[in-house]
Amino acid sequence: MTRKDLFKLILDRKSYLCVGLDTDLQKIPTHLRSLPYPLLEFNKSIIDATRDLCVAYKPNLAFYESLGSMGWDLFKQTVEYIGDSHFVIADAKRGDIGNTSKMYAKAFFEHYQVDAITVAPYMGEDSVGPFLEWNDKWVILLALTSNIGSIDFQMIEDENGKSLFKKVLETSSNWGSTDNLMYVVGATHPEAFKEIRSIVPDHFLLVPGVGAQGGDLEKVSEFGMNNHCGLLINSSRGIIYAGSGQNYAEEARNAALGLQQKMAVLLESRFS
Amino acid sequence: MTRKDLFKLILDRKSYLCVGLDTDLQKIPTHLRSLPYPLLEFNKSIIDATRDLCVAYKPNLAFYESLGSMGWDLFKQTVEYIGDSHFVIADAKRGDIGNTSKMYAKAFFEHYQVDAITVAPYMGEDSVGPFLEWNDKWVILLALTSNIGSIDFQMIEDENGKSLFKKVLETSSNWGSTDNLMYVVGATHPEAFKEIRSIVPDHFLLVPGVGAQGGDLEKVSEFGMNNHCGLLINSSRGIIYAGSGQNYAEEARNAALGLQQKMAVLLESRFS
C-alpha cells in the first residue's frame, strides 16, 4: 500500500485507528474455548466487528509464536482474512545482520504478505536496509517506545544533548523515504511529538500506548498530525478485550467506535 | 544449564565453539534437495558431524521463520535432535514491552525448550526482565554487534564520552546476574574486548563474526577469556557451508575441528 493510498483510506473511513491483535487464549471469552479454532474465531469476530472503523491491523507476533507452528498458521489465516482493504502490520520488532534481515523481509513480505513490519534500530543501517528493498512495503522503526524502559537507553543524550531516539530519527530518515519508512512513537510521551515532527515532518508515525497504557489521543493528534494525517494510532487490549462475555465482539466494536468518532472530529477539523 | 555446567562442558570438550545453524534451502548441497525433509536432514548431519567439537548450537530464527509454520516444526525438531548435551541458543533478537516479552519467553523456554535467547536492548529493562525470570535459562543481550551498522548507534558517545554499548553493559548488568545474562560482542571489534572485560569481567560473551565476517579467534580469546572461559565463539556459514558436495558433513567437521583445535590450545594455556 502506498502513502497516498493509506491517506485516502484514512479520509474515506474517517479513521486512523490501528487495531492490535494481541490474541491470547487466556484472555478470550471462555465460551469460545470449546470451539475447534478458538483463536481464529476470535480474530475473525474482532475483524468483522471493527473492519469499517479502522485502517490498519497489527498482529503482535509474540502472541502467535508462543503457540508454535500452529500460531504461524493462525497468523497467516488472520492476515488472509483481513484482506487488501487494510494496512497490515507484523509487529515483530526484528533486526539482524544483513543476510538475516533479508530472510525476515522475505518471510513477512512474501510468505505472509503483510504491508509493514516493525524493526528495532540497535544494529544500524545494514540491519534495516534489506526491509526497504520491497515495493510498497514498509519498515516501521522503533524510535521512542511506549514502555517504561524507553527511558533506559532511548533517552540517553550525546555530548550535544541530543537523545538517542532523535539520532535514530535523524540518521535513519536517510535510509528510506516517507514512502517506505515509518516510526514507532509511544503515546505515553505526548510532549515529544512536537520535537519529533521537527525532525521527521512528513513520515507516518505508528503510535501505541493509547488505552491500556494511558496515552492521550487528542494530545498526540494535536502535535503529531501532518498534512497526510501521518498517524496510525494503535489500541490492542483496550479494544479486543473490552468485553469478555457472549457480546465481546459488540463491546470491541463500541471501544473502536469511541476512538474512531474522536478521530473523525480531529480529521474533520484538519482536512475539511 | 548453569554457568558451572557450561564451564565444565567447555573443559571436557576442550571447546568453546558454538555452531550457528543458519540453514538455507538455497545453500545446502543440491543432492539433499530431493529428500522429503532436506533441511532437517542437513541439520542432523551437521549436528552429528560436530557434536563432539562444540558446546553450543545457535539456530538463527530468521532462516526458520522464512519457511512459515513448517520452519517452526524444523526448528523444534532440530532443538530436540540436539538434546541436552549442548547449550542451545535461539538467535531471535526479540525485545518488546513487558507483557509481550513474557509471551516470547514462554514460547522459547517452554515450548521450544532452548537454553538461551538473544534479546535486543533498545526498549530497556521491562523488555528484558521477563526473560530473566526462568531458572537456568539465559538472556543474551546485544551489546556490540559484528555488523557494519554497529557503528551507527552502538558507538554513539554520551556527554562523558561513554558509548551506548558500554551503557548497555553497565545498566543491564544489574538486571540479571552472571548466571542468567550473557552479551553479544562481535569478533569484528577485537579492540573492544579489553574494555568490555573491565565492565563485565565475569559474564559470558557470545561472539559472532569469526569466519565469514573476518574476526580473529586468538585476539578475541586473549582479551575476552575470563576464569570461567567466558566465551562462546560462534561460526555459522564458515562451518555449515564449508562443503557443498556429497561430503559436506565431513567438510563441516573439518572446519569445526580447525577451530576446536585452536581452542583446545588456548584453553590448555589458561586452565591447565
ipTM: 0.93
* pLDDT at residue number B159: 86
Check whether B215 has a pLDDT greater than 90.
no
pTM: 0.95
* pLDDT at residue number B148: 93
A148: nearest CA partner in chain B: B126
Q: Which of A81, A80, A85, A93 is nearest to A56 (CA)?
A: A85
Residues of A serving a catalytic function are: 93
B184: nearest CA partner in chain A: A123
Check whether B212 has a pLDDT greater than 90.
no
pLDDT band at B210 (very low <50, low <70, confident <90, very high): confident
Diameter of chain A measured on Cα atoms: 59
Range of weakest confidence among A127-131, B19-23, B65-69, B210-214: B210-214
Q: How near does any CA of chain A get to the CA of B268, in Å?
A: 33
Residue extents of the structural domains in chain A: 3-271
* pLDDT at residue number A212: 66
User: Which one-letter DSSP state was computed for residue B3?
Assistant: H
Check whether A57 has a pLDDT greater than 90.
yes
* pLDDT at residue number A46: 98
Distances in whole angstroms, Cα of residue A61 to Cα of each of A92, A114, A135: 5, 12, 23
Check whether B87 has a pLDDT greater than 80.
yes
Contact yes or no for B69 and A76 at CB 8 A: yes
Contact list in B for residue A146 (CB cut-off 8 A) is 97
pLDDT digits (tens, 9 = 90+) for A178-236: 999 999 999 988 889 999 999 999 999 999 988 767 778 999 999 999 999 999 999 99
Residues of B serving a catalytic function are: 93
Q: What percent of chain B has pLDDT over 90?
A: 89
Contact yes or no for B164 and A164 at CB 8 A: yes
Residue B150 to residue B166: CA distance in whole angstroms: 13
Q: What's the whole-number mean pLDDT along residues B207-226?
A: 88
Residue B224 to residue B219: CA distance in whole angstroms: 8
Check whether A165 has a pLDDT greater than 80.
yes
pLDDT digits (tens, 9 = 90+) for A10-32: 999 999 999 999 999 999 999 99
**Cell numbers placing B72:** 517452526
Mean pLDDT of chain B: 95
Contact list in B for residue A142 (CB cut-off 8 A) is 122-123
Contact yes or no for A149 and B72 at CB 8 A: no
pLDDT band at B41 (very low <50, low <70, confident <90, very high): very high
| Phi, psi at A50, each rounded to 5° | -125, -5
Domain B3-271 annotated CATH 3.90.850.10: no
Contact list in B for residue A152 (CB cut-off 8 A) is 121, 124-125, 171
pLDDT digits (tens, 9 = 90+) for B220-262: 999 999 999 999 999 999 999 999 999 999 999 999 999 999 9
Check whether B209 has a pLDDT greater than 90.
no
pLDDT digits (tens, 9 = 90+) for B125-178: 999 999 999 999 999 999 999 999 999 999 999 888 999 999 999 999 999 999
A95: nearest CA partner in chain B: B93
Contact yes or no for B149 and A123 at CB 8 A: yes
Contact yes or no for A120 and B122 at CB 8 A: yes
Residue B241 to residue A237: CA distance in whole angstroms: 45
